[in-house]
Amino acid sequence: MTKIALLGFGTVGRGLYNILKEKKELLNSLDINIEISKILVRNLSKYKDIDKNLLTNDYNDIYLDKDIDIVVEMTGDVENSYIYIKKALENGKDVVSSNKAVVSKYFEELMEISQDKGRLFLYEASVGGTIPIVREVKSLSLFNNINKIYGVLNGTCNYILYNMFENNKDYAEVLKEAQEKGFAEHDPTDDVKGFDMRRKLRILMSIICKGKITEDAIEVFGLDKINKIDVSYLSGNYRVKEVCLGQKSGDNYVCIIEPCLFKKDEDLARLEGAYNMVEIYGDYFEKITLKGPGAGSLPTASAVLQDIIDVIKKNDIRVYGGNDLVNFNDNFEGQYYLRTSGDFPEDFVEREEIYKGQKIIFTKKIKRSDFLNLIKDKDAFFARCIN
Protein backbone atom coordinates (compact mmCIF):
# COMPACT_ATOMS: atom_id res chain seq x y z
CA MET A 1 0.00 0.00 0.00
CA THR A 2 1.32 3.44 -0.97
CA LYS A 3 0.16 6.20 1.34
CA ILE A 4 -0.06 9.71 -0.04
CA ALA A 5 -0.83 13.16 1.35
CA LEU A 6 -2.53 15.87 -0.70
CA LEU A 7 -1.44 19.47 -0.22
CA GLY A 8 -4.38 21.57 -1.35
CA PHE A 9 -7.91 20.51 -2.13
CA GLY A 10 -8.98 22.94 -4.80
CA THR A 11 -9.77 22.19 -8.43
CA VAL A 12 -6.89 19.78 -9.03
CA GLY A 13 -6.90 18.19 -5.56
CA ARG A 14 -10.61 17.46 -5.73
CA GLY A 15 -10.16 16.07 -9.25
CA LEU A 16 -7.43 13.69 -8.09
CA TYR A 17 -9.51 12.60 -5.10
CA ASN A 18 -12.44 11.77 -7.40
CA ILE A 19 -10.31 9.86 -9.91
CA LEU A 20 -8.72 7.75 -7.16
CA LYS A 21 -12.15 6.99 -5.73
CA GLU A 22 -13.64 6.11 -9.13
CA LYS A 23 -10.67 4.02 -10.32
CA LYS A 24 -9.75 2.33 -7.04
CA GLU A 25 -10.71 -1.20 -8.11
CA LEU A 26 -9.00 -0.86 -11.48
CA LEU A 27 -5.79 0.45 -9.91
CA ASN A 28 -5.83 -2.30 -7.29
CA SER A 29 -6.18 -4.92 -10.05
CA LEU A 30 -2.97 -3.49 -11.56
CA ASP A 31 -1.21 -3.81 -8.18
CA ILE A 32 -1.31 -0.03 -7.71
CA ASN A 33 -2.69 0.41 -4.21
CA ILE A 34 -2.99 4.07 -3.24
CA GLU A 35 -4.44 5.37 0.00
CA ILE A 36 -4.95 9.04 0.86
CA SER A 37 -3.73 9.47 4.46
CA LYS A 38 -3.98 13.23 4.88
CA ILE A 39 -5.23 16.31 3.05
CA LEU A 40 -3.74 19.67 3.97
CA VAL A 41 -6.34 22.47 3.84
CA ARG A 42 -6.70 25.94 5.34
CA ASN A 43 -10.30 25.63 6.54
CA LEU A 44 -11.10 22.35 8.29
CA SER A 45 -14.85 23.03 8.35
CA LYS A 46 -15.20 23.74 4.62
CA TYR A 47 -15.22 20.16 3.31
CA LYS A 48 -18.33 18.52 4.78
CA ASP A 49 -18.22 15.55 2.38
CA ILE A 50 -14.67 14.49 3.33
CA ASP A 51 -13.78 12.26 6.28
CA LYS A 52 -12.66 14.75 8.92
CA ASN A 53 -9.88 12.37 10.01
CA LEU A 54 -8.20 12.97 6.63
CA LEU A 55 -8.12 16.75 7.00
CA THR A 56 -5.40 18.77 8.68
CA ASN A 57 -4.19 22.36 8.66
CA ASP A 58 -0.83 21.44 10.18
CA TYR A 59 1.89 20.32 7.77
CA ASN A 60 3.75 18.62 10.63
CA ASP A 61 1.01 15.96 10.53
CA ILE A 62 2.25 15.06 7.06
CA TYR A 63 5.99 15.44 6.74
CA LEU A 64 6.68 13.95 10.18
CA ASP A 65 4.43 10.94 9.49
CA LYS A 66 6.79 8.11 8.59
CA ASP A 67 3.97 6.10 7.01
CA ILE A 68 3.31 8.69 4.27
CA ASP A 69 5.31 7.78 1.16
CA ILE A 70 4.41 10.50 -1.35
CA VAL A 71 3.52 14.17 -0.87
CA VAL A 72 1.36 15.52 -3.69
CA GLU A 73 1.61 19.31 -3.84
CA MET A 74 -1.27 21.02 -5.69
CA THR A 75 -1.48 24.50 -4.20
CA GLY A 76 -1.13 27.80 -6.02
CA ASP A 77 1.31 29.08 -3.42
CA VAL A 78 5.05 29.52 -4.01
CA GLU A 79 7.00 30.09 -0.80
CA ASN A 80 4.98 27.80 1.49
CA SER A 81 4.95 25.11 -1.19
CA TYR A 82 8.72 25.38 -1.52
CA ILE A 83 9.05 24.75 2.22
CA TYR A 84 6.59 21.83 2.05
CA ILE A 85 8.39 20.17 -0.87
CA LYS A 86 11.85 20.73 0.58
CA LYS A 87 10.88 19.31 3.98
CA ALA A 88 9.20 16.28 2.40
CA LEU A 89 12.26 15.43 0.28
CA GLU A 90 14.66 15.96 3.16
CA ASN A 91 12.50 13.72 5.31
CA GLY A 92 12.69 10.84 2.84
CA LYS A 93 9.43 11.27 0.95
CA ASP A 94 8.89 11.38 -2.80
CA VAL A 95 7.10 14.44 -4.15
CA VAL A 96 4.74 15.13 -7.05
CA SER A 97 3.81 18.73 -7.89
CA SER A 98 1.44 20.46 -10.31
CA ASN A 99 2.65 23.90 -9.22
CA LYS A 100 4.65 25.36 -12.11
CA ALA A 101 5.50 28.54 -10.19
CA VAL A 102 7.38 26.73 -7.41
CA VAL A 103 8.89 24.14 -9.78
CA SER A 104 10.23 26.89 -12.04
CA LYS A 105 11.55 29.15 -9.28
CA TYR A 106 13.33 26.39 -7.33
CA PHE A 107 13.89 23.80 -10.07
CA GLU A 108 17.63 23.18 -9.68
CA GLU A 109 17.59 23.26 -5.88
CA LEU A 110 14.70 20.81 -5.56
CA MET A 111 16.20 18.46 -8.15
CA GLU A 112 19.51 18.49 -6.28
CA ILE A 113 17.84 17.74 -2.94
CA SER A 114 15.83 14.89 -4.44
CA GLN A 115 18.96 13.40 -5.96
CA ASP A 116 21.00 13.77 -2.75
CA LYS A 117 18.22 12.10 -0.73
CA GLY A 118 17.55 9.39 -3.32
CA ARG A 119 13.93 10.50 -3.75
CA LEU A 120 11.84 11.26 -6.82
CA PHE A 121 10.50 14.73 -7.59
CA LEU A 122 8.06 14.68 -10.54
CA TYR A 123 6.17 17.61 -12.00
CA GLU A 124 4.52 16.59 -15.29
CA ALA A 125 1.24 18.36 -14.52
CA SER A 126 3.06 21.66 -13.96
CA VAL A 127 3.87 22.00 -17.66
CA GLY A 128 1.35 20.65 -20.15
CA GLY A 129 -1.81 19.42 -18.47
CA THR A 130 -2.53 15.99 -19.93
CA ILE A 131 0.27 16.27 -22.50
CA PRO A 132 3.19 14.07 -21.34
CA ILE A 133 5.67 16.66 -22.52
CA VAL A 134 8.12 16.43 -19.60
CA ARG A 135 8.26 12.64 -19.84
CA GLU A 136 8.80 12.82 -23.62
CA VAL A 137 11.51 15.48 -23.41
CA LYS A 138 13.40 13.57 -20.70
CA SER A 139 13.27 10.35 -22.70
CA LEU A 140 14.30 11.93 -25.99
CA SER A 141 17.12 13.90 -24.35
CA LEU A 142 18.91 10.71 -23.37
CA PHE A 143 20.20 10.11 -26.90
CA ASN A 144 18.80 12.94 -29.03
CA ASN A 145 19.93 16.49 -29.48
CA ILE A 146 16.62 18.31 -29.22
CA ASN A 147 17.20 21.53 -31.14
CA LYS A 148 13.74 23.09 -31.01
CA ILE A 149 10.53 23.02 -29.00
CA TYR A 150 7.65 25.06 -30.20
CA GLY A 151 3.94 25.49 -29.59
CA VAL A 152 1.05 26.52 -27.36
CA LEU A 153 1.46 25.75 -23.65
CA ASN A 154 -1.38 27.74 -22.10
CA GLY A 155 -5.00 26.67 -22.42
CA THR A 156 -6.34 30.06 -21.34
CA CYS A 157 -4.50 31.92 -24.10
CA ASN A 158 -5.64 29.47 -26.72
CA TYR A 159 -9.25 29.60 -25.51
CA ILE A 160 -9.27 33.40 -25.76
CA LEU A 161 -7.65 33.62 -29.19
CA TYR A 162 -9.68 30.73 -30.63
CA ASN A 163 -12.97 32.34 -29.62
CA MET A 164 -11.94 35.81 -30.75
CA PHE A 165 -11.20 34.54 -34.25
CA GLU A 166 -13.72 31.74 -34.68
CA ASN A 167 -16.68 33.30 -32.84
CA ASN A 168 -15.94 36.99 -33.44
CA LYS A 169 -15.96 37.86 -29.73
CA ASP A 170 -13.96 40.67 -28.17
CA TYR A 171 -11.14 40.12 -25.70
CA ALA A 172 -12.97 41.17 -22.52
CA GLU A 173 -16.02 39.03 -23.38
CA VAL A 174 -13.99 35.88 -23.99
CA LEU A 175 -11.83 36.42 -20.91
CA LYS A 176 -14.92 36.65 -18.72
CA GLU A 177 -16.30 33.48 -20.32
CA ALA A 178 -13.00 31.67 -19.71
CA GLN A 179 -13.09 32.71 -16.05
CA GLU A 180 -16.67 31.48 -15.66
CA LYS A 181 -15.70 28.08 -17.15
CA GLY A 182 -12.64 27.73 -14.94
CA PHE A 183 -10.11 28.09 -17.79
CA ALA A 184 -8.81 31.43 -16.47
CA GLU A 185 -8.00 32.69 -12.97
CA HIS A 186 -9.81 35.61 -11.36
CA ASP A 187 -6.56 37.53 -11.95
CA PRO A 188 -5.57 36.38 -15.46
CA THR A 189 -2.27 38.30 -15.60
CA ASP A 190 0.04 35.27 -15.51
CA ASP A 191 -1.81 33.68 -18.43
CA VAL A 192 -2.47 36.60 -20.79
CA LYS A 193 0.90 38.28 -20.16
CA GLY A 194 2.74 35.03 -20.98
CA PHE A 195 4.25 34.50 -17.51
CA ASP A 196 2.62 31.07 -17.06
CA MET A 197 4.06 29.86 -20.35
CA ARG A 198 7.45 31.34 -19.44
CA ARG A 199 7.64 29.11 -16.36
CA LYS A 200 6.81 26.04 -18.45
CA LEU A 201 9.36 26.88 -21.15
CA ARG A 202 12.01 27.52 -18.48
CA ILE A 203 11.46 24.02 -17.07
CA LEU A 204 11.51 22.30 -20.47
CA MET A 205 14.53 24.17 -21.85
CA SER A 206 16.53 23.59 -18.65
CA ILE A 207 16.00 19.86 -19.23
CA ILE A 208 16.77 20.07 -22.96
CA CYS A 209 19.89 22.24 -22.55
CA LYS A 210 21.06 20.41 -19.41
CA GLY A 211 21.75 23.74 -17.76
CA LYS A 212 20.02 26.55 -15.90
CA ILE A 213 17.79 28.92 -17.88
CA THR A 214 16.11 31.44 -15.60
CA GLU A 215 12.68 32.98 -16.14
CA ASP A 216 14.35 36.38 -16.62
CA ALA A 217 16.28 35.00 -19.58
CA ILE A 218 13.06 34.36 -21.52
CA GLU A 219 11.60 37.18 -23.65
CA VAL A 220 7.83 37.57 -23.19
CA PHE A 221 5.08 39.55 -24.93
CA GLY A 222 1.51 38.68 -24.03
CA LEU A 223 -1.74 38.69 -25.99
CA ASP A 224 -3.57 41.32 -23.93
CA LYS A 225 -3.04 44.09 -26.52
CA ILE A 226 -4.96 42.29 -29.27
CA ASN A 227 -8.31 43.84 -30.19
CA LYS A 228 -11.15 43.52 -32.70
CA ILE A 229 -9.27 45.58 -35.29
CA ASP A 230 -6.57 42.89 -35.43
CA VAL A 231 -9.14 40.10 -35.61
CA SER A 232 -11.18 41.88 -38.30
CA TYR A 233 -8.12 42.55 -40.45
CA LEU A 234 -6.49 39.13 -40.08
CA SER A 235 -9.32 36.61 -39.75
CA GLY A 236 -9.89 36.09 -43.47
CA ASN A 237 -6.51 34.41 -43.97
CA TYR A 238 -4.74 34.15 -40.62
CA ARG A 239 -4.96 33.06 -37.00
CA VAL A 240 -3.00 34.34 -34.00
CA LYS A 241 -1.64 32.06 -31.28
CA GLU A 242 0.45 32.81 -28.19
CA VAL A 243 3.49 30.62 -28.83
CA CYS A 244 6.56 29.56 -26.91
CA LEU A 245 9.79 28.95 -28.82
CA GLY A 246 12.89 27.27 -27.44
CA GLN A 247 15.87 26.72 -29.73
CA LYS A 248 19.25 25.19 -28.94
CA SER A 249 22.48 25.17 -30.95
CA GLY A 250 25.49 23.93 -29.02
CA ASP A 251 25.50 25.92 -25.78
CA ASN A 252 23.53 28.79 -27.35
CA TYR A 253 19.81 29.07 -26.80
CA VAL A 254 16.82 31.22 -27.74
CA CYS A 255 13.72 31.36 -25.53
CA ILE A 256 10.86 33.63 -26.64
CA ILE A 257 7.13 33.76 -25.92
CA GLU A 258 5.01 36.01 -28.11
CA PRO A 259 1.94 36.07 -30.38
CA CYS A 260 2.55 34.45 -33.76
CA LEU A 261 0.64 34.76 -37.01
CA PHE A 262 -0.22 31.57 -38.90
CA LYS A 263 -2.02 30.89 -42.15
CA LYS A 264 -5.39 29.63 -41.01
CA ASP A 265 -5.06 26.11 -42.46
CA GLU A 266 -1.91 25.22 -40.46
CA ASP A 267 -2.06 22.73 -37.58
CA LEU A 268 -1.36 25.20 -34.78
CA ALA A 269 -3.74 27.73 -36.32
CA ARG A 270 -6.57 25.20 -36.03
CA LEU A 271 -5.92 24.36 -32.37
CA GLU A 272 -9.27 24.66 -30.65
CA GLY A 273 -10.56 25.66 -27.21
CA ALA A 274 -8.34 25.31 -24.15
CA TYR A 275 -6.00 22.79 -25.81
CA ASN A 276 -2.22 22.75 -25.77
CA MET A 277 -0.04 21.61 -28.65
CA VAL A 278 3.74 21.25 -28.74
CA GLU A 279 6.14 20.27 -31.51
CA ILE A 280 9.55 18.78 -30.65
CA TYR A 281 12.40 18.67 -33.18
CA GLY A 282 15.54 16.55 -32.81
CA ASP A 283 18.42 14.80 -34.55
CA TYR A 284 16.77 11.45 -35.21
CA PHE A 285 13.25 12.56 -36.02
CA GLU A 286 11.77 15.39 -38.03
CA LYS A 287 9.00 16.33 -35.63
CA ILE A 288 6.97 14.88 -32.76
CA THR A 289 3.66 16.56 -32.00
CA LEU A 290 1.82 16.32 -28.67
CA LYS A 291 -1.70 17.68 -28.21
CA GLY A 292 -4.25 17.61 -25.40
CA PRO A 293 -6.29 19.61 -22.88
CA GLY A 294 -4.18 22.20 -21.12
CA ALA A 295 -6.55 23.30 -18.39
CA GLY A 296 -9.23 21.95 -16.10
CA SER A 297 -9.62 19.81 -13.00
CA LEU A 298 -9.58 16.28 -14.42
CA PRO A 299 -6.93 16.76 -17.15
CA THR A 300 -4.45 18.15 -14.65
CA ALA A 301 -5.39 15.59 -11.99
CA SER A 302 -4.86 12.84 -14.55
CA ALA A 303 -1.29 14.04 -15.13
CA VAL A 304 -0.71 14.17 -11.36
CA LEU A 305 -1.90 10.58 -10.99
CA GLN A 306 0.42 9.44 -13.77
CA ASP A 307 3.32 10.96 -11.84
CA ILE A 308 2.20 9.19 -8.66
CA ILE A 309 2.16 5.89 -10.55
CA ASP A 310 5.63 6.64 -11.96
CA VAL A 311 6.89 7.22 -8.41
CA ILE A 312 5.39 3.92 -7.25
CA LYS A 313 7.01 2.13 -10.22
CA LYS A 314 10.29 4.05 -9.70
CA ASN A 315 10.02 5.27 -13.27
CA ASP A 316 12.04 8.43 -13.87
CA ILE A 317 14.86 9.60 -16.13
CA ARG A 318 17.41 12.05 -14.79
CA VAL A 319 18.90 14.18 -17.56
CA TYR A 320 19.89 17.32 -15.68
CA GLY A 321 23.29 18.97 -15.92
CA GLY A 322 25.37 22.07 -15.30
CA ASN A 323 26.16 23.25 -18.82
CA ASP A 324 27.21 26.88 -19.20
CA LEU A 325 24.69 28.38 -21.61
CA VAL A 326 24.69 31.53 -23.76
CA ASN A 327 21.49 33.54 -24.37
CA PHE A 328 21.08 34.41 -28.08
CA ASN A 329 17.68 36.14 -27.84
CA ASP A 330 19.13 39.46 -29.01
CA ASN A 331 20.22 37.87 -32.30
CA PHE A 332 16.83 36.34 -33.10
CA GLU A 333 15.28 37.62 -36.35
CA GLY A 334 11.78 37.52 -37.75
CA GLN A 335 9.14 39.29 -39.82
CA TYR A 336 6.29 40.87 -37.88
CA TYR A 337 2.71 42.03 -38.19
CA LEU A 338 2.25 45.32 -36.34
CA ARG A 339 -0.91 47.29 -35.59
CA THR A 340 -0.07 50.72 -34.26
CA SER A 341 -1.12 54.36 -34.13
CA GLY A 342 2.51 55.45 -33.99
CA ASP A 343 5.31 55.83 -36.50
CA PHE A 344 7.58 53.02 -37.67
CA PRO A 345 10.72 53.51 -39.83
CA GLU A 346 10.04 52.97 -43.54
CA ASP A 347 13.38 51.19 -44.01
CA PHE A 348 11.98 48.17 -42.14
CA VAL A 349 8.49 48.16 -43.72
CA GLU A 350 7.60 45.60 -46.37
CA ARG A 351 4.01 46.83 -46.73
CA GLU A 352 1.74 49.22 -44.88
CA GLU A 353 -1.89 50.38 -45.00
CA ILE A 354 -4.41 52.24 -42.91
CA TYR A 355 -7.27 50.13 -41.54
CA LYS A 356 -9.98 51.47 -39.24
CA GLY A 357 -7.78 54.39 -38.25
CA GLN A 358 -4.73 52.25 -37.42
CA LYS A 359 -1.51 51.54 -39.28
CA ILE A 360 -1.18 47.92 -40.33
CA ILE A 361 2.44 47.08 -41.03
CA PHE A 362 4.19 43.93 -42.18
CA THR A 363 7.91 44.31 -41.54
CA LYS A 364 10.92 43.09 -43.43
CA LYS A 365 13.11 40.56 -41.64
CA ILE A 366 14.49 42.35 -38.59
CA LYS A 367 16.24 41.58 -35.33
CA ARG A 368 13.56 41.18 -32.70
CA SER A 369 15.44 43.40 -30.25
CA ASP A 370 15.60 46.21 -32.84
CA PHE A 371 11.92 45.75 -33.71
CA LEU A 372 10.85 46.14 -30.08
CA ASN A 373 12.95 49.27 -29.64
CA LEU A 374 11.30 50.87 -32.68
CA ILE A 375 7.73 50.48 -31.35
CA LYS A 376 6.71 53.71 -29.61
CA ASP A 377 2.97 53.06 -29.20
CA LYS A 378 2.17 51.48 -25.79
CA ASP A 379 -1.11 50.07 -27.16
CA ALA A 380 0.44 48.48 -30.24
CA PHE A 381 -0.05 44.78 -30.94
CA PHE A 382 2.36 42.61 -32.87
CA ALA A 383 2.70 38.99 -33.94
CA ARG A 384 5.64 37.22 -35.54
CA CYS A 385 4.80 35.91 -39.01
CA ILE A 386 5.25 32.15 -39.42
CA ASN A 387 6.05 31.05 -42.98
Could you list the active site residues? 200
Residue 11 labeled ligand binder:
yes
Q: Environment class of residue 93 by beta-carbon count within 10 Å: exposed (0-12), middle (13-18) or buried (19+)?
A: buried
Q: What are the residues facing 282 on neighbouring strands? A: 146, 285
Residue 219 labeled ligand binder:
no
Residue 12 labeled ligand binder:
yes
SS3 2: strand
The span from the CA of 199 to the CA of 183, in Å, is 18
Which residue type occupies 135? R
71 HSE (CA, 13 A, CB side): 32
Residue 182 labeled ligand binder:
no
Residue 73 labeled ligand binder:
no
The span from the CA of 129 to the CA of 155, in Å, is 9
Residue 322 labeled ligand binder:
no
Residue 13 labeled ligand binder:
yes
Cβ of 245: how many Cβ atoms within 10 Å?
A: 21
* 138 dihedral zone (left: phi>0; alpha: psi -120 to 50; beta): alpha
- What is the β-pairing status of strands 275-282 and 121-122? unpaired
Which residue type occupies 162? Y
Selection from 113, 122, 319 nearest residue 207 by Cα: 319
Residue 332 labeled ligand binder:
no
Helices marked H in the chain? 11-22, 24-29, 60-63, 79-90, 100-105, 107-117, 125-128, 133-141, 155-166, 171-180, 189-192, 195-209, 228-234, 297-312, 368-374
Q: Residues marked as binding for L-homoserine?
A: 185
Positions at the binding site for NADPH: 100
What residue numbers does the annotated binding site cover? 8-13, 100, 185
Q: Residues at the annotated binding site for NADP(+)?
A: 8-13
